[in-house]
Amino acid sequence: MAEVTDPQLRLFIERIQRLEEEKKGISDDVRDTYNEAKSQGYDPKIMRQIIRLLKMPAHDRKEMEALLDVYKCALGMEQMSLPLGVAA
């Protein structure tokens, strides 16, 4: 393999390699944290869903939850929840 002779390219490659190593380390830390939470009785799958929801803008999350309620109701999975006073 030919040696990289462009010093700027070499710096970019080395920087990317360092960042990839850091990313792997962070990924390992996240996995360890989920495992620690699991050992304390928490469900990592649910925690991942919560993290995903927290990343969403509030209006997108509310819209998704409303649609989920509509779909569950349409499938008979649960009653559509009505605000107080609406059913009266």
Contacts of 66 (CB under 8 A, 6+ apart): none
Residue 78: per-residue pLDDT: 79
- Does 86 have pLDDT greater than 90? no
Residue position matching structure tokens 């939470």: 37
Share the mean pLDDT of the chain: 89
Residue 29: per-residue pLDDT: 98
Q: What is the pLDDT of residues 13-72, one digit of tens each?
A: 999 999 999 999 999 999 999 999 999 999 999 999 999 999 999 999 999 999 999 999
